[in-house]
A and B are shown apart, each in its own frame.
Chain A
Amino acid sequence: MELEREEVLSAIHHCVKCKLCSIASFHPNEEWLPLCPSGEYYGYQAFYAPGKMEIFRAILEGEITEPSEGLLHSIYACTVCGACYEKCKQITSVELGAPDLFEAMRHEMASKGWILDVHTSIADKIEETKNAYGEKYEYNVNAETTDGDADVLYYIGCTARYRVPEIADAMLGIFDKLGLKYQVMGEEWCCGSVLFRTGQVEAARELVAHNIEEIKRSGAKTVVFTCPGCMKTFEKDYPDMGVELLHSTQFLTRQGNMNLKKEDLKAAYHDPCHLGRDLGIYEEPRAVLREVADIKEMKREREQAWCCGSGGGVKSAFDDFALWSATERLKEAKEAGAEALVSACPFCKRNLKEAAEKEELEVYDVVELVNRCLEG
């Protein structure tokens, strides 16, 4: 989103610093539930939304002219999860939200070269290998197009391809078990999410152009994502390609009765930020999960879900913070009486799983459970 300077300043001036954005709705249950991971972890005002807005104002008004350590830390140690905005808009009906402002701020900073080395190194990796992890270009999953004319294209994404391949395996397994034809891209490049989220917008242009071209060439009418981060990027940062974009859980709810064998499993559902707050998809993952497990809702859910801690470039730059945030979520799942924490995002799963090594809790993506419960 390209924002005008005056539009940004106006939005910043509208923040009255009530800080209700830092907690989940208090009434009617009257529980104090923090919502802002970076503010809770680091504590200084700079790590909460109102403080970050002041910093952005000072950058735009020329009061901050150098990239201090605190500047880079406070602005990039934010998962841009958008929880603050969800709360703010309930109260103030504000239209231009904090996540858009923070991404605009990162863009402004990146254009001045004020960016973390670890994030520029991701851009370098993408330029070289076309994936965010700098892996040699090959599938870590056995993904092959079953029908070059299939209407459905599965966009796997870097994380499911190179870090949590069990998600891609599960999605492909579901396609096969349901007897559905699908395509995967011959040359799937990173969607560019990490570049957009860290302000390196220009570096993403080539990726966007390539992926659009590949998808058009495929002739697919529907693109299915297991990664909400990729899907959000296609929705928000790509031009309209004239194809339908569906998250895996939306796709699965359209399949009707899949004859799933429900497991005796108490599962908490973690709303991924990109899927929930950014794309508004809350019900479909629950509908699918309900078919395979008993859902135990956590106190902070849907629009007011606590972020897993890995988004916005945080996992790569501030792993301790990312894992702390994930651990907070795991504790909440246990408090809800869950035996497993289920998400619908490879990035969430990766971070939650890593944090769960010390917790007695299983972590899944919803498609893994569906694949497991699907009669082969």
Chain B
Amino acid sequence: MNETFSTLVKELQAIVGERNATDDLAICTSYSRDQHWHFVPAKNPACIVRPGTKEEVRTVLMLANTHKIPVIPYSTGINVRGLTIPVHDGSILLDLSRMNRILEINPDMKTATVEPGVTFGMLQEQTRKYKLRPAFPDAPLTVSVLVNYYLRGIYQTSATDGHDHTISYEMILPNGETLKTGSRALSEMPYFRYGVGPDFAGMFCAHPGTCGVVTELTAKLYRLYDNRKEYFIGFDDVGTPTKFIYNLMNDELAASIRLVDNQSWLKGIFGTFDYPYEKLPKFVLCVLVEGVDGVFEAKDKLVRAYMKECGGQIQELPAEFASTFEHESLGGAEKSCMVFGIKGRGNYHCIGLYGPLTLAAKYYEVHEKTALEVGIPQDHVHFYIDPIYSFHGQLCYFELDIFYDGGDLKFGEKLRNYNEKQFHRLLELGIYGWFRPYAGIIEPTAERIGYLAEVWKKFLHVLDPNEIMNRGKLF
């Protein structure tokens, strides 16, 4: 590391404390890869800074802005698909995990205000005391609440939670200014998203740390009900259950609805590898009904009525499977991560996207087709549908999954080929949008969105004229 940078590290240490900033090679190396390394190769940040307060964040950003040094915001470093791996040399990685306070849980408002280092597990531990819960992504409950919502966490385990859980937030920009969205800008009441002017909260969302650093965020919480019932219905193909899913969604009957194949996510949803999954139908629809007295019984009755005519086979399974499904859906994903251990392969690749239920069978068809073309065996190909309320546009989150041996470098090459073909094919087929700005997604997508791409770039330039924020991750 050159002398200038060493001086900078000393300045950073003066801001956050000697213990909380370092350019030690080994420490920096520990941030050099995430699970997406077949697509985003390892690269070290030049230094790691661990601020403990907003003011420290602000001072660090202003310093970096002055020197035009790239800054990569990082919360827990999980499930980020390469978004916190540097593109440029000399980057500062801003590890926000020390900022892990739950600032408020407001049961009357049904909201929680959190810092970036708060995980879903930490938040659920507290919210459940009020019979409330956050909207959980189907990601490890060790991930950051703030970042998942800010990055648009609409792949939640409960369909009823809707697609947007963010109400308002506070973001520090590279110039040191604090930007507050919604009612937060007007008062100490951060409980309304559309407080003043345009929907700024929406405008800044889904940028992978490329606008500024979000230091606190107020999110919606959802009720936990005592009445619950689970159903598991088997199908031999993706198309048949779509009518049933449509009915459940149209009548807003089920809390959680997940269609998965019998060899991947089902193992996590049931919490065990030790079951003859191959004897189940190829696809299993997992349905969870919940509600207050009276409403619950009415919903359950309708679900059972639709189930009779759905064309699937109702599965009688051990009671603990239903219990695990409940926990994973309404208490945070933990066992679901058993997908990382499928057949001892240890890694998974997915293209996550939003699209209409009407295209479900097409998405699966193109998934199988592309995999086959690039030499990925059929038994590595898996699928996942998670419909989302409200069902306008028949909104669903889809996952085109491939489970594989993470250490197989040749397979990594196949996956890159798969991505290259599949991004284009999916765009041709029609999607609502991508789950995250994965490596390789932005370019083919930006080509198709016309002048919006130009406006988007200009918008970012206004906020970050020196392009220090996660430089290279979007444009």
Contacts and interface: CB of A to CB of B under 8 A. Distances in A.
Partners in one complex: yes
A26 B42 CA distance: 31
Interface residues of A, number: 46
Most buried by B among A10, A18, A50, A70: A18
A326 to B, nearest CB: 21
Contact of A91 (B32, B332, B337): B337
B234 interface: no
B73 interface: no
A376 interface: no
Contacts of B128: 30
B387 interface: no
B95 interface: yes
Contact of B30 (A23, A32, A51, A91): A51
A63 B29 contact: yes
B335 interface: yes
B312 interface: no
Nearest to B31: A45
A91 B97 contact: no
A70 B35 contact: no
B124 interface: yes
B26 A45 contact: no
11 contacts: A10-B407, A12-B407, A27-B324, A27-B327, A43-B98, A51-B30, A54-B31, A64-B29, A69-B24, A70-B26, A91-B338
A18 B340 contact: yes
Contact of A68 (B20, B25, B125, B142): B25
A93 B78 contact: no
A26 B332 contact: yes
Contacts of A70: 22, 24-27
A324 B256 CA distance: 42
A14 B346 contact: yes
Contact of B140 (A9, A19, A44, A64): A19
A14 B347 contact: yes
Given A45-B77, A92-B341, A26 B407 contact: no
Given A43-B95, A46-B26, A92-B340, 8 more contacts: A13-B407, A23-B121, A26-B141, A27-B331, A28-B331, A45-B27, A70-B26, A92-B341
Contacts of A23: 121, 142
A4 interface: no
A91 B341 contact: yes
B317 to A, nearest CB: 18
Contacts of B206: none
B194 interface: no
Interface residues of B, number: 53
A26 B348 CA distance: 23
B30 A44 contact: yes
Interface of A: 9-20, 22-23, 25-28, 30-32, 43-46, 50-52, 54-55, 57-58, 63-64, 66, 68-71, 74-75, 91-95
Most buried by A among B30, B128, B406: B30
Nearest to A51: B30
Interface in B18-67: 20, 22, 24-27, 29-35, 37, 42, 48, 50
Interface in B403-447: 405-407
Nearest to A12: B407
Contacts of B27: 44-46, 70, 74
A63 B29 CA distance: 9
Contacts of A64: 25-26, 29
Contacts of A17: 33-35, 77-78
Contacts of B348: 16
B156 interface: no
A74 B30 contact: yes
Question: What 5 A-B pairs are tightest by C-beta distance, nearest first?
Answer: A70-B24, A51-B30, A14-B346, A92-B341, A71-B26
B273 interface: yes
Contacts of B77: 17, 19, 45
B25 A30 contact: no
Contacts of A12: 407
B465 interface: no
Given A18-B142, A19-B142, A43-B50, A55 B341 contact: no
Given A16-B347, A26-B141, A43 B97 contact: yes
B29 A55 contact: yes
Nearest to B343: A93
B215 interface: no
Given A23-B121, A32-B122, A58-B29, A18 B337 contact: yes
B166 interface: no
B26 A16 contact: no
B198 interface: no
Interface string B320-352: 000110011001101101101100101110000
A94 B95 CA distance: 28
Given A18-B140, A26-B332, A70-B27, A91 B76 contact: no
Given A44-B48, A45-B77, A58-B32, A22 B142 contact: yes
A4 B122 CA distance: 39
B160 interface: no
Contacts of B124: 26, 30
A19 B97 CA distance: 13
Contacts of B78: 17-19
A64 B79 CA distance: 26
A26 B119 CA distance: 12
Contacts of B34: 17
A54 B32 contact: yes
A308 to B, nearest CB: 24
A68 B24 contact: yes
Given A32-B121, A68-B25, A71-B26, A20 B331 contact: no
Interface in B345-403: 346-348
Contacts of A57: 33, 42
Nearest to B140: A18
A74 B34 CA distance: 19
Contact of A13 (B97, B119, B406): B406
A66 B26 CA distance: 9
A167 to B, nearest CB: 36
A20 B141 CA distance: 8
B344 A95 contact: yes
A202 to B, nearest CB: 24
A11 B344 CA distance: 11
A233 to B, nearest CB: 28
Contacts of A94: 341, 344, 346
Contacts of B347: 13-14, 16
Interface in B113-170: 119, 121-122, 124-125, 128, 140-142
Nearest to A28: B327
B346 A92 contact: yes
Interface in B301-330: 323-324, 327-328
Most buried by A among B25, B29, B121, B273: B29
Contacts of B35: 15-18
Interface string B9-20: 000000000001
Contacts of B79: 18
A23 B120 CA distance: 12
A27 B329 CA distance: 12
A13 B347 CA distance: 8
Contact of B407 (A9, A43, A52): A9
A310 B306 CA distance: 59
Contacts of A93: 273, 338, 341, 344
B346 A44 contact: no
A91 B342 CA distance: 10
Contacts of B30: 44-46, 50-52, 54-55, 74
